[in-house]
Structure 1
Amino acid sequence: MSDVVRPTEAQVAQVRSAADAVKAAIDAHLAAVEVRAGAGDPSVAESYEALADAAEVYDELLDEVYEEFTPFEVPHPGDGGLPDTVEPAAISVLIRRDYAVANPRLLRESVGGPTTAAALRALFGDYEPDRVARHAAEFGLEEGDSTLWVVAADQGEPGEWLAEPFDVAEPELLISRFDVVEEYEDDEDETEDVDEAEVGVLDPS
């Protein structure tokens, strides 16, 4: 007999109604984009916010009723710290991705290296960070939280910031932020070498 708890008809209808609202919001957003008067068209911004709100409601209901999640999150443009009146001459895009080293042995066997640290150096030396993110499980890594910041920056000279590359990560310069939060499996029996369990990766693009 299945242990799955079936939702009530009312709950099913509520989730379906929220899903229909997301579909309608997508159509409305696309329609606004297709006839926009230019960058910053208020009708596009309004439809964007409506889409974000509808997606958030649907995601919450999906979690509440089915304990499932959508694979995307719509960031709100107002989340930035930089006033809209400021016109940045250049930007920096900063990405941080965290991984749990769920299977150190697989990691070492996949890329080579006598230790986990050596294997991680080889992994990020040989592969682009985006490729690592797409194939994390194949390297024995488990995706954790991630965040992407777009911040205002000085254009400067090529390479001049390399000595201190992350000084521009200042909240007051933030233009946009997108966070993804993952739930970790709290089961040490499924994790090898627990003392090597987590590594944080900051990847500036």
Structure 2
Amino acid sequence: MSDAVQPTAAEVRAAAEAIKTALDRHLAAVERRSGEDDPAVYEAFNELAAAAEEYDELLFDRYDEVTPFDIPGTEDMLPYTGPEEPHALSVLIRRDYAVVEPQRLLAQAQRVEAVEEDGATAGAGFDAASGTVHGALGVLFGEFEPDEIASRHKEFGLEEGDSTLWVTAADEPAEPGEWLEAPFDSIDPQRVVCRFDVSAVFDEESDDDLEDDLDPDGDLEPSDADR
């Protein structure tokens, strides 16, 4: 990069101050979080990621130095093109599970059905749906909120996989029933205000990075930031 387009020392310093501000905002959001999927935490996370990326780029352009910051997922996000002042939003959540203990899943669904059968009108009969895995899933997800299943998944014989939460902005609220037939077909990635992804691949990447930093004797090699 030529000297003519290099950032100034003041610009680098301003980027460093922006990181400090973003760190404070992120910590404050975490301290005030209202639950596991609090959108304010995700928004603060993305702001911190953007500030860290900006500082890293300016630091390298000006001083040919790097930082240890490595925040997964932010480089894959498209630029936001939605309304600056959204009047509506949609929260989209996907959580994947593996059925690792079918018998536990069936047993839990049968307990739910037993309670419902006890409360049914005498002689009305009861159609058990928990005899199959897909039937048991219908019983449990009909009885418990998704957040409760997420917090108790092991009790239901499930193992967590990847999960993601997207908050998308809209100009106006949708009409009642407007998107129910195809709720996930009209998602515009460039209207995503913030998102939060959880995946074991992030842990694997961290382990790979650690292995790369180890010398043959098992000692940590100095990082670029330490050289």
TM-score, normalised to structure 1, is 0.52
Contact 1:151–1:168 (8 Å) recurs in 2: no
Give the unaligned 5+ runs of structure 1. 1-24, 34-43, 61-72, 184-205
Question: Where does residue 115 of structure 1 map in the other structure?
Answer: 132
- Are 1:142 and 2:121 an aligned pair? no
Using the TM superposition, give the Cα deviation of residue 76 of structure 1 relative to its aligned residue in structure 2, in angstroms: 5.5
Matched pairs, number:
135
User: 1:143 aligns to what SS in structure 2?
Assistant: strand
Instruction: Write out aligned runs for 1:14-163 (5 A).
Output: 29=24, 48-49=48-49, 57=68, 79=77, 81-83=79-81, 86-112=84-110, 113-153=130-170, 154-163=172-181
Using the TM superposition, give the Cα deviation of residue 163 of structure 1 relative to its aligned residue in structure 2, in angstroms: 1.7
Question: Where does residue 224 of structure 2 map in the other structure?
Answer: none
Instruction: Tell me the amino acid that sits aligned with residue 48 of structure 1.
Output: L
Question: Where does residue 190 of structure 2 map in the other structure?
Answer: 172
User: 1:172 aligns to what SS in structure 2?
Assistant: helix
User: 2:81 aligns to what SS in structure 1?
Assistant: coil
Using the TM superposition, give the Cα deviation of residue 161 of structure 1 relative to its aligned residue in structure 2, in angstroms: 1.8
CA 1:30–1:170: 2 relative to 1, 3 Å: closer
- Are 1:182 and 2:200 an aligned pair? yes
User: 1:149 aligns to what SS in structure 2?
Assistant: strand
Decide which structure has greater strand share: 1
Counterpart CA distance in 2 for 1:143 and 1:92 is 24
Instruction: Tell me the amino acid that sits aligned with residue 167 of structure 2.
Output: V
Contact 1:146–1:179 (8 Å) recurs in 2: yes
Counterpart CA distance in 1 for 2:135 and 2:102 is 11
Deviations 1:1-31 (A, max 9, x none): xxxxxxxxxxxxxxxxxxxxxxxx6995159
Instruction: Tell me the amino acid that sits aligned with residue 91 of structure 1.
Output: L
Deviations 1:62-98 (A, max 9, x none): xxxxxxxxxxx89869945323763322111100000
CA 1:77–1:128: 2 relative to 1, 3 Å: farther
CA 1:141–1:170: 2 relative to 1, 3 Å: same
Counterpart CA distance in 2 for 1:165 and 1:46 is 25
CA 1:145–1:45: 2 relative to 1, 3 Å: closer
Counterpart CA distance in 1 for 2:46 and 2:181 is 42
Question: Greater CA radius of gyration, 1 or 2?
Answer: 2
Counterpart CA distance in 1 for 2:181 and 2:46 is 42
Instruction: Tell me the amino acid that sits aligned with residue 164 of structure 2.
Output: T
User: 2:200 aligns to what SS in structure 1?
Assistant: coil
Question: Where does residue 65 of structure 1 map in the other structure?
Answer: none
Counterpart CA distance in 2 for 1:119 and 1:46 is 38
Contact 1:104–1:140 (8 Å) recurs in 2: yes
CA 1:99–1:173: 2 relative to 1, 3 Å: same
CA 1:151–1:82: 2 relative to 1, 3 Å: same
Give the unaligned 5+ runs of structure 2. 1-19, 29-43, 54-66, 111-129, 202-227
Instruction: Tell me the amino acid that sits aligned with residue 161 of structure 1.
Output: W
Deviations 1:16-73 (A, max 9, x none): xxxxxxxxx699515997xxxxxxxxxx9998349978xx958x8xxxxxxxxxxxx8
